[in-house]
């Protein structure tokens, strides 16, 4: 039986991802005309409650089993303390290497090389920059209790914006976030880093794996 060629976004590889990566995943798929993937995302807000991530990913794996040729996970450990990797080992599913998106956007090797210099750094990505007020300022209650700022950010000395795309407005917003937190500002253009390579490998892999 000849399988009908899938439309983009209806591929035979299920990509289970953090909702904070949805825009970047879509951009890479459109840029590279990758048709291998079907994408399903879990809520980005789960980074505030990472204990939900492992079993949330497991549920997506179980939903996809038997419907797709293979499954991949686009999550770092993301604060699960190794529990996500335990689930993926049990389920036989691969994830992208790296502890979090800051690392794989930067390139895991490059991020590790900067560890000592970045030990007191608060990071923003494009997603976190767009949603800084909601996820960070309001999410931590700083809009209501600004006196908590030293407790949350007193041990940081800089904010580094890891940019996936060149956008002057996002740069301005990230600078404003640094000013709001009282941190010095640094811009780094990372692009999509190891995430692009992970997706490229997934798109090029044979679509007959179980």
Task: Tell me the residue range of the domain where 184 lies.
Answer: 108-189
Per the structure block, which two tokens stand in for 188? 């780094």
Q: How many H helices and E strands in the chain?
A: 10, 7
Read off the pLDDT of residues 133-171 as tens digits, 9 standing for 90 and up: 999 999 999 999 999 999 999 999 999 999 999 999 999
| Residue ranges, the chain, pLDDT below 70 | 1-10, 206-210
* Alpha carbons 50 and 78: distance in angstroms, whole number: 7
Same domain (yes/no): 24, 66: yes
Same domain (yes/no): 65, 96: yes
The pLDDT score that the predictor gives to residue 6 is 43
Is 155 part of any domain?
yes
Is 36 part of any domain?
yes
The pLDDT score that the predictor gives to residue 10 is 64
The pLDDT score that the predictor gives to residue 48 is 85
Q: Are 15 and 40 in contact (CB under 8 A)?
A: yes
CATH of the domain at 35: 3.40.50
Same domain (yes/no): 71, 86: yes
The pLDDT score that the predictor gives to residue 78 is 94
Which phi and psi (to 5°) does residue 190 adopt?
-105, -25
User: What ranges in the chain are assigned the alpha helix state H?
Assistant: 22-32, 53-64, 83-91, 101-106, 108-113, 126-130, 132, 149-153, 168-181, 193-204
pTM of the model: 0.89
Is 114 part of any domain?
yes
Task: State the total domains in the chain.
Answer: 2
Closest CA to 129 of 175, 194, 84: 175
CB atoms within 10 A of CB 165: 12
The half-sphere exposure of 13 on its side-chain side, counting CA atoms within 13 A, is 26
Same domain (yes/no): 24, 124: no
Is 173 part of any domain?
yes
The pLDDT score that the predictor gives to residue 5 is 45
The half-sphere exposure of 175 on its side-chain side, counting CA atoms within 13 A, is 7
The pLDDT score that the predictor gives to residue 204 is 83
The pLDDT score that the predictor gives to residue 206 is 63
Is 118 part of any domain?
yes
């Amino acid at each position: 039986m000849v399988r009908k060629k899938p439309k983009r976004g209806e591929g035979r590889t299920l990509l289970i991802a953090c909702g904070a990566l949805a825009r970047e995943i879509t951009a890479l798929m459109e840029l590279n005309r990758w048709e291998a993937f079907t994408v399903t995302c879990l809520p980005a807000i789960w980074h505030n409650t990472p204990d939900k991530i492992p079993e949330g990913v497991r549920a997506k794996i179980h939903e996809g089993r038997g419907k797709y040729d293979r499954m991949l996970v686009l999550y770092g450990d993301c604060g699960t303390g190794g529990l996500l990797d335990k689930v993926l080992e049990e389920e036989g599913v691969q994830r992208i290497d790296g502890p979090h998106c800051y690392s794989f956007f930067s390139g895991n090797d490059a991020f590790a090389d900067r560890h000592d210099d970045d030990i007191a750094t608060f990071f923003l990505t494009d997603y976190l920059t767009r949603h800084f007020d909601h996820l960070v300022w309001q999410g931590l209650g700083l809009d209501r209790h600004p006196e908590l700022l030293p407790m949350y950010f007193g041990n940081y000395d800089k904010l580094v914006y890891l940019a996936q795309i060149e956008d002057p407005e996002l740069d301005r917003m990230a600078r404003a976030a640094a000013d709001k937190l009282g941190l010095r500002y640094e811009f780094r253009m990372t692009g999509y880093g190891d995430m692009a390579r992970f997706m490229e490998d997934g798109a090029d892999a044979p679509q007959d794996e179980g």
